[in-house]
Amino acid sequence: MTTGVDFPSWIKQFPGTAPGATVIFPHAGGAAAAYRGFAKVLSDNETPAIIVQYPQRADRLTHPAVGTVGEIAEQLFGAGDWSGAAPLTLFGHCMGAVVAFEFARIAEARGVEVRALWASAGQAPSTVTEGFPLPSTDAEVLADMIDLGGTNPVLLEDEDFAELLMRAVKADYRALSTYSCAPDVTIRADIHALGGSADHRTRREWLDRWESHTTGRFTCEFFDGGHFYLNDHLNAVAQLVGRT
């Protein structure tokens, strides 16, 4: 079954029989399509899954860029009646983790139950200002995408594809570059941090510091792989998230 919520078409729903839903928040520059495989595994395991889409890509290509991470989260929350899909489990990868955190703050403040937040390869909100400088030029963004992995290098050689990707990445990086959060800002939902053991972009201490952002339970676990370890461990991560 689906959630029964009347979401716009750019919010992708995958049916499941378990109560509630897992909401997936993509990485910077990432489109919902990049997480179809993960959502499909969750759905096959009976967990309803929903993937949100940020502006400036795919079927939201013409939607104006949003200025801040908080505004992105507010816009996503305003896209439908999330109480109809609750209780929610949130899963955010890289930048998606802090978007999911801000979404959780909004949801909890407005009475929508959030069971857990899974922060995947994303630094804790209070550490974002400590992160590496974000690229801004086309050349810097392209080099950053190659360094991170997760995008087929052959696709990056396609000028049209690369132009659209950089447009989305730069919009997300502009929003992320203005983000800051105090260490004592918390949500009630449990937080589970996940990372790749060989991820050179997300320090372990940044994942550990997610603990300060929950009044609930905290765990931290690593998988073999780099920043996009998830691509090699869809089933294992889906089983963890589905047991929330």
Task: Give the mean model confidence (pLDDT) for residues 221-237.
Answer: 96
**Gyration radius (Cα) of the chain, Å:** 16
Residue identified by tokens 């992708």 is: 12
Residue identified by tokens 């009347």 is: 6
**Tens digit of pLDDT for each residue in 70-81?**
999 999 999 999
Average pLDDT, the chain: 93
Domain annotation for the chain: domains and CATH numbers: 12-242 (3.40.50.1820)
Helix, strand and coil in the chain, % to nearest 5: 45, 15, 40
Residue 98: CB atoms within 10 Å: 27
DSSP 32: G
**Tens digit of pLDDT for each residue in 1-14?**
456 689 999 999 99
Buried b (16+ CB within 10 A) or exposed e, 31-49: bbebbeebbebbbebebbb
Positive or negative: CA dihedral 222, 98, 73, 160: negative
- The whole model's pTM is what? 0.95
CA-CA distance, 120 to 201, in Å (whole number)?
12
Question: What pLDDT is attached to residue 110?
Answer: 98
Q: Give the DSSP per-residue string, 175-216.
A: HHHT----TT--BSSEEEEEEETT-SSS-HHHHHGGGGGBSS
Task: Give the mean model confidence (pLDDT) for residues 10-23.
Answer: 96
Residue identified by tokens 């609750």 is: 86
